[in-house]
Amino acid sequence: MASVAQIIGTDVETFALILLTAPLLFALWRLFNGNPFKSINRLPPGPFGFPVVGYLPFLRSDLHHQFTDLARKYGPVFKLQVGSQLCMVVSSPSVVKEILRDQDAIFANRHPTAAALIATYGGRDISFAPLGNHWREARKIFVREMLSSKNIRACHGHRREEVRKAIRTLKSKSGQAVNIGELVSLTEIKLVTRMIMGSTLGCDEEKHEKVVEVFREVMGRFVAALGEPNISDFLPWLERFDLQRIQAKMGGLVKAIRDILEPIIEEGERIVSEKSRIGSRKDEDDDDEKDFLQILLELKAGEAGKSLDLGAIKALLQDIVIGGTDTTATTVEWVMAVLLENPEVMKQVQNEVDHIVGLNSTVEEVHLLKLTYLDAVVKETLRLYPPLPLLVPRCSTATSQVGGYTIPKGTKVFLNTYALHRDPQLWDNPLQFKPERFLGPGSGLLDYTGNDYRFLPFGSGRRICAGIPLAEKMLLYILASLLHSFNWRLPEGEKLDFSDEFGIVTKKKTPLIVVPTPRLSNSQLYH
């Protein structure tokens, strides 16, 4: 066979003709057959990175701020190649709508990190579980049993008791500096653990205090480890080496929680077994005595046991306590900070609570629906300081077209609610704290249901936060009680710091330390 050199040497004219006509032939072929590189060209724009590691060396610890800065340069839809993982970041309401509503089935899957897989017993919870039968069953059980109107009403006494305890604690610390986030976190842990295992614990206050102490001790580190950037998540071949010791750290935290949960689960199994053995009547009174743990164990013994094993039960309990506590405490802390920064708004909230509740009564849950201005203050705070500024990342299960771009299967998708909530094209004076934007005409859709894609503090679509009804109730109840019972100020010489610290839940970088002073003349209202 003749070589290329031989062909060129013997037929120079033919070779020259090929060189001259090839571009024309290619142009004609492209005209009639389309662009063969179209799918490549339609990937979103984005910054370049290095071979192998991609953009990984340039990622900062404040991802929500960095992604917002990159969106200003590359647009509201851009890509990042981070190690072996292709990522897409979205901060356009129309594109978010495509992802969360129009193509929700494709983008409803998770891409859990190595730490998340350890934390959730291999993705056996609700937050990080892959889309499938287990996730659907677990979420259905949580909504039907834990968040039913009946159960929320039945747990009213627990909520009232724990909030009143917090008020008594603050009264005893009148004039002293208090870490408000820490206090609310402790209140929430006590409340949620009573809701999910109070009947199993019975009157054993010592055991309940041990449960509370373990969660209080590990929760901050647990959430931090979940949100800590891990090189192994982007270069999977490094996972076995655990270079940053994140997997080992998370394993230790999960063990601490498991060690306190397992004896309680065993006690729950004993109670459920005993009731089944003696044929306990399934009447209303018996149902009221069950806690969420016992309901889970009964379901495990039945048909639901196919997907609800002990690992899933532990993951669910852990999810509820940590997920339900950390976001609430963080939001209360941000609300109190912005109210201290805006004393006229705080005064207006207190006036509203005084008008609805009165000065010779305590705040009760029946008052909450009437506290419309406080509700607007909470929403405006969540707009400026969303606890999950990038929500929980999603993963595409198929190649699709979004916002005019091709998004390949397996792409990790970040929805930048932080940028959405501060976009000057979507909000008038977006950096100004203005609760009235949630009270005026057209504000009806600006709620927590995720139907207005400008405002998504808890997500939208099938992966929207399942615990919104309880979280909303507790946020308003705690804040109304704090603001009705006390006046608040900063310690002498202290200034407010609004810098944040990115994580799976983004918190204030410096804890909010405040000084309460009782404002109700009737001292009996603090007992």
For position 416, what pLDDT does the model report? 99
User: Which pLDDT band holds residue 66 (cuts at 50, 70, 90)?
Assistant: very high
Going through 426-480 in order, the beta strands assigned E by DSSP cover none
Is position 87 annotated in a ligand binding site? no
Instruction: Look at the block and give the residue holding tokens 């920064």.
Output: 341
pLDDT of res. 36: 43
Average pLDDT in the chain? 90
Q: For 474-503, what is each residue's pLDDT tens digit?
A: 999 999 999 999 999 999 999 999 999 999
> What is the pLDDT averaged over residues 438-462?
92
What percentage of the chain carries pLDDT values higher than 70?
A: 90
pLDDT band at 304 (very low <50, low <70, confident <90, very high): low
Between residues 2 and 405, which one has the greater pLDDT?
405
Q: Is residue 442 pLDDT above 90, yes or no?
A: no
Structure confidence by residue, pLDDT tens digits, 219-272: 999 999 999 999 999 999 999 999 999 999 999 999 999 999 999 999 999 999
The 10s digit of each residue's pLDDT in 404-415 is 999 999 999 999
pTM for this one?
0.90
Write down the residue that tokens 């990042």 correspond to.
80
Nearest C-alpha neighbor of 197 from the set 132, 269, 252, 129: 269
Per-residue pLDDT band for 289 (boundaries 50, 70, 90) equals confident
Identify each DSSP E strand in 338-472 by its residue range. Answer: 394-395, 400-402, 405-407, 412-415
Flag whether pLDDT at 88 surpasses 90. yes
SS3 for 297-337, per residue? HHHHHCHHHHCCCHHHHHHHHHHHHHHHHHHHHHHHHHHHH
Helix orientation angle between 468-485 and 156-172, rounded to the nearest 10 degrees: 30
- Give the pLDDT mean for 171-178: 98
Most confident stretch, 195-204, 443-452, 497-506: 497-506
What one-character DSSP code corresponds to residue 54? B
Confidence at residue 197, expressed as pLDDT on a 0 to 100 scale: 95
The residue among 265, 247, 345 whose CA lies nearest residue 311 is 265
Are the beta carbons of 332 and 181 closer than 8 angstroms? yes
The pLDDT assigned to 282 comes to 52
Six token digits for residue 332: 């209360």
pLDDT at 288: 52
350-382 pLDDT tens trace: 999 999 999 999 999 999 999 999 999 999 999
Token reading at 111: 């891409």
Tens digits of per-residue pLDDT, 103-162? Answer: 999 999 998 999 999 999 999 999 999 999 999 999 999 999 999 988 898 899 999 999
Span 23-50, mean pLDDT?
62
User: Using 50, 70 and 90 to split pLDDT, how confident is the model at 67?
Assistant: very high
Looking at residue 281, its pLDDT comes to 52
Q: Which two tokens stand for residue 100?
A: 């969360």
Residues 151, 154, 155, 159, CA torsion sign = positive
Choose the weakest-confidence range: 19-23, 250-254, 303-307: 19-23
152, 142, 146, 144: which is closest to 368 by C-alpha? 152
Confidence check: pLDDT of 93 > 70: yes
Backbone angles phi, psi at 14, to 5 degrees: -65, -45
Q: What is the pLDDT of residue 28?
A: 44
**DSSP summary character for residue 102:** I
Confidence class of residue 19 from pLDDT cuts 50, 70 and 90?
A: very low
